[in-house]
C-alpha cells in the first residue's frame, strides 16, 4: 500500500467539499472507522484543513480537484506505453526523488505528486505548492550525448508549456527567459509556471536531465501571499473549467514531443517559436547577472545555444548566459 493511501482515498471522497460521515466513508472504502479516523489525522498533519462537525462528519473548506493515476494514464493513450508514469500522494520534492532514483528508473519516467512539501525553484527559491492548488511533476530523460549539448533545454521546456497554455485556451501567455511562463492578467505579467532542470552525468558522453515543472492550478489567497513575485493560476485566468488530470497528460505529451525533436536538432529549430512567444517585446528590461551586476536594454534575439542577446543602452550587444530578466 502506498504511503497515505487510505488518507488520499478518504480525501477523494471529501474533495466535493460536502459533509461525509466517518461511517459512510468507512463503508464506501471498506475500511474500519478507526482507519478513517487515522486517515483524517494524517491529512491534518499534512496541513490539509478539514472541518469536523458532530453528527455531520467531515468536509474540506471548498471542493478541490486531486490527481488520479488512472485518469492520467488513460488520457496519455498510447504514450502510456512509452512513459513510465508514477503518481505519489506526498513527496518532499519530485526532482529530488528522481535524482536519487535516476539509476534505477527507466528513460522517460514521469513522477507527479498530489502534495509536494519542499519543492525547489531556480536560484535556491522554494516552489510554493498546496493540495489541489499546484501541479508539480518531474521528468527523467536520458540523453545519448553530454551535458555540453543541452544548451537551451530549459527554453525548449518553456515552449512545451506555452503550447499547453494555447491548447487549454489561455492565449495571453508568454515566455520569460529562460524558463518561466507568464500570463497577462489585468495589465500585469504574472507567473503561472516555472521549470527547474538538474543534470547528472558526463559533459561529453551521456547524461540525464531531471526536468521539474511547477504549474499554478488554483492558487488560494493564502498561498499567493507566500510567493515573492506576481503570480496567477489557471482557474484565475481561464473562464473554462479544467481537469488537472487532463493538464498533466498534456504537459507530458508536449514535453515528450519537444524532447524528441531536441535530441535531433538541439535548440536551433526552436528559436523562432520561442522568440515569437517571448515576454517584454519592444520593451526595455533589466538583466541581473549572477554577480549582481545589473544592465538594461532590449531583447533583440537569442543565440543558437539559447543565450540571450541584449541590445544595451550604450548601443552594444551583450550575450547573456545566466541571470534574471525583469521589466522596467
Q: pLDDT > 90: what percent of the chain? A: 78
Q: pLDDT > 70: what percent of the chain? A: 96
Residue 145 and residue 45 share a domain: no
Overall number of domains in the chain = 3
Question: In the sheet where 308-312 sits, what is the strand order?
Answer: 317-320, 308-312, 294-302, 284-288, 324-327
Q: pLDDT grade, residue 3 (50/70/90)? A: confident
- Residue 222 has a pLDDT of 82
More confident residue, 313 or 126: 313
List residues bridging with 296 in a β-sheet.
286
Residue 10 and residue 88 share a domain: no
41: CB partners within 8 A, 6+ apart: none
| DSSP tag of 133 | T
Cα 241 from Cα 177, distance rounded (Å)? 29
Grid coordinates standing for 154? 530549459
Nearest partner of 193 among 217, 172, 210, judged by Cα: 217
* Span 129-156, pLDDT tens digits: 678 899 999 999 999 999 999 999 999 9
Q: Is residue 194 part of a domain?
A: yes
- Residue 242 has a pLDDT of 95
How many alpha carbons fall within 13 Å on the CB side of residue 137? Answer: 29
Name the phi and psi angles at 41, rounded to 5.
-65, -35
Nearest partner of 63 among 19, 128, 21, 26, judged by Cα: 19
Give the end of a domain, one of 59, 79, 99: 59
- Residue 187 has a pLDDT of 81
Residue 224 and residue 295 share a domain: no
Give the pLDDT mean for 78-97: 95
The domain that holds 211 is classified in CATH as 3.30.930.10
Residue 266 and residue 129 share a domain: yes
Query: Is omega for the bond preceding 48 within 30 degrees of 0, making it cis?
Result: no
Quote the Cα angle for 169-213-254, to 5°.
50
* Span 245-268, pLDDT tens digits: 999 999 999 999 999 999 999 999
Residue 110 and residue 173 share a domain: yes
Could you tell me how many helices (H) and strands (E) the chain has, helices first? Answer: 10, 16
- 241 burial level (CB within 10 Å; 0-12, 13-18, 19+): exposed
Cα 173 from Cα 32, distance rounded (Å)? 48
Give the pLDDT mean for 56-63: 94
Residue 233 and residue 105 share a domain: yes
Give the pLDDT mean for 69-92: 96
* Span 106-134, pLDDT tens digits: 999 999 999 998 766 555 555 556 788 99
Contact indicator for 143, 263 with CB cutoff of 8 Å: yes
Q: Is residue 64 part of a domain?
A: no
Residue 85 and residue 120 share a domain: yes
Cα 277 from Cα 251, distance rounded (Å)? 17
The domain that holds 288 is classified in CATH as 2.30.30.100
Q: Is residue 242 part of a domain?
A: yes
Contact indicator for 54, 79 with CB cutoff of 8 Å: no
* Span 40-50, pLDDT tens digits: 999 999 989 99
DSSP secondary structure, 256-318, as one string: HHHHHHHHHH-SGGGHHHHHHTBSSTT-EEEEE-TTS-EEEEEEEEE-TTS-EEEEETTS-EE
Contact indicator for 119, 112 with CB cutoff of 8 Å: no
- Residue 125 has a pLDDT of 56
Cα 323 from Cα 287, distance rounded (Å)? 7
Residue 221 and residue 134 share a domain: yes
DSSP secondary structure, 196-229, as one string: EEEEEE-SSS-EEEEEEEEEESS--HHHHTT-SS
Range of the domain at 125: 69-275
- Residue 119 has a pLDDT of 64
Residue 221 and residue 286 share a domain: no
Residue 73 and residue 39 share a domain: no
More confident residue, 64 or 229: 64
Q: Is residue 109 part of a domain?
A: yes
Residue 123 and residue 217 share a domain: yes
Cα–Cα distances (Å) from 231 to 184, 225, 226, 262, 291, in that order, read: 10, 10, 10, 29, 26
Q: pLDDT grade, residue 51 (50/70/90)? A: very high
pTM of the predicted protein model = 0.92
Q: Is residue 210 part of a domain?
A: yes
Contact indicator for 192, 94 with CB cutoff of 8 Å: no
* Span 196-247, pLDDT tens digits: 999 998 888 899 999 999 999 998 888 877 787 889 999 999 989 999 999 9
- Residue 1 has a pLDDT of 63
The domain that holds 51 is classified in CATH as 1.10.10.10
Residue 109 and residue 241 share a domain: yes
- Residue 64 pLDDT greater than 90, yes or no: yes
Amino acid at each position: 500500500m502506498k504511503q497515505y493511501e487510505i488518507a488520499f482515498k478518504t480525501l477523494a471522497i471529501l474533495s466535493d467539499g460536502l459533509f461525509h460521515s466517518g461511517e459512510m466513508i468507512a463503508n464506501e472504502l471498506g475500511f474500519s472507522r478507526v482507519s478513517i479516523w487515522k486517515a483524517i489525522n494524517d491529512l491534518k498533519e499534512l496541513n490539509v484543513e478539514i472541518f469536523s462537525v458532530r453528527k455531520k462528519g467531515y468536509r474540506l473548506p471548498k471542493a478541490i480537484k486531486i490527481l488520479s493515476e488512472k485518469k492520467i494514464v488513460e488520457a496519455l493513450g498510447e504514450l502510456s506505453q512509452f512513459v513510465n508514469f508514477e503518481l505519489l500522494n506526498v513527496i518532499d520534492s519530485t526532482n529530488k526523488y528522481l535524482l536519487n532514483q535516476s539509476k534505477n528508473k527507466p528513460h522517460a519516467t514521469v513522477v507527479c505528486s498530489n502534495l509536494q512539501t519542499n519543492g525547489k525553484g531556480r536560484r535556491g527559491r522554494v516552489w510554493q505548492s498546496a493540495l489541489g492548488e499546484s501541479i508539480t511533476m518531474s521528468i527523467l530523460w536520458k540523453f545519448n550525448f553530454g551535458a555540453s549539448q543541452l544548451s537551451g533545454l530549459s527554453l525548449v521546456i518553456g515552449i512545451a508549456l506555452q503550447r499547453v497554455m494555447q491548447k487549454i485556451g489561455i492565449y495571453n501567455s508568454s515566455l520569460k527567459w529562460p524558463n518561466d511562463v507568464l500570463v497577462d492578467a489585468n495589465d500585469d505579467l504574472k507567473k503561472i509556471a516555472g521549470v527547474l532542470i538538474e543534470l547528472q552525468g558526463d559533459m561529453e558522453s551521456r547524461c540525464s536531465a531531471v526536468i521539474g515543472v511547477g504549474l499554478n492550478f488554483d492558487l488560494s489567497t493564502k498561498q499567493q501571499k507566500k510567493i515573492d513575485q506576481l503570480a496567477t493560476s489557471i482557474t484565475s485566468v481561464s473562464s473554462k473549467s479544467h481537469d488537472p488530470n487532463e493538464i498533466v497528460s498534456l504537459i507530458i505529451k508536449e514535453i515528450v514531443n519537444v524532447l524528441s525533436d531536441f535530441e535531433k536538432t538541439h535548440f536551433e529549430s526552436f528559436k523562432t517559436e520561442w522568440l515569437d512567444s517571448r515576454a517584454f517585446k519592444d520593451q526595455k528590461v533589466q538583466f541581473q547577472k549572477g554577480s549582481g551586476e545589473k544592465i538594461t536594454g532590449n531583447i533583440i534575439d537569442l543565440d543558437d545555444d539559447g543565450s540571450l542577446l541584449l541590445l544595451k543602452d550604450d548601443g552594444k550587444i551583450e550575450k547573456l548566459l545566466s541571470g534574471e530578466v525583469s521589466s522596467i
